[in-house]
Amino acid sequence: MLLLKRSTDQHCGGLWSFPGGKVEQGESPQAAAMRELQEETGLTGLTWQSLGTHSFTYPDRLLHFQLFGCLCVSLTSLDCESEHAWVARDRLVDYPMPAANGALLGMLGAYRVSVKDGNQDEDQDRE
Ligand SMILES: Nc1nc2c([nH]c(=O)n2[C@H]2C[C@H](O)[C@@H](COP(=O)(O)OP(=O)(O)OP(=O)(O)O)O2)c(=O)[nH]1
């Protein structure tokens, strides 16, 4: 899984979070996720899957999350302004994240990516 470290001047600054951001007017949640991934990391995701929705109230704002999983294959285009880390699923807990992410991590529990390998479809846990 790819985590980005939020800059100190952002909401939830200094914490690790998934690539993402706010949906723009007239944009679908998935289009926003694809755009934010590209803007923040230079990566293009494949095999997008919706993993669910979650609402969380911070002291100063209510946020509605829609979480997507995707597979990134052309990692040579990785270009992050912020510090980043590729983290195995079972090591995500080692990275301090915003309070809302407790539920987001729970939504990752059943996430599998189907990778076509020759004639075989193989379900894999993606990192
Ligand atoms: N991207 C992202 N945001 C998260 C996560 N967890 C979490 O609570 N948030 C919060 C922090 C922010 O309040 C909000 C996302 O806004 P953002 O600041 O990243 O979005 P943006 O890039 O569109 O915003 P902006 O700084 O351009 O105004 O969601 C997470 O895992 N990833």
Domain residue ranges in the chain:
2-108
| 4 C-beta neighbours (distance < 10 Å), count | 19
Q: What is the pLDDT of residues 47-89, one digit of tens each?
A: 999 999 999 999 999 999 999 999 998 889 899 999 999 999 9
CATH class of 2-108: alpha beta
Mean pLDDT, rounded, of the chain? 91
Residue from 4, 10, 15 to probe ligand 1 pocket by mutation (most atoms less than 8 Å from CB):
10
Q: Can you tell me the mean pLDDT for 103-126?
A: 69
pTM: 0.90
Ligand 1 first shell, C-beta below 6 A: 10-12, 17-18, 20-22, 63, 98, 100-101
Question: What's the rounded Cα separation, in Å, for the pair 81 and 39?
Answer: 10
Half-sphere exposure of residue 57: CA atoms within 13 angstroms, side-chain side: 1
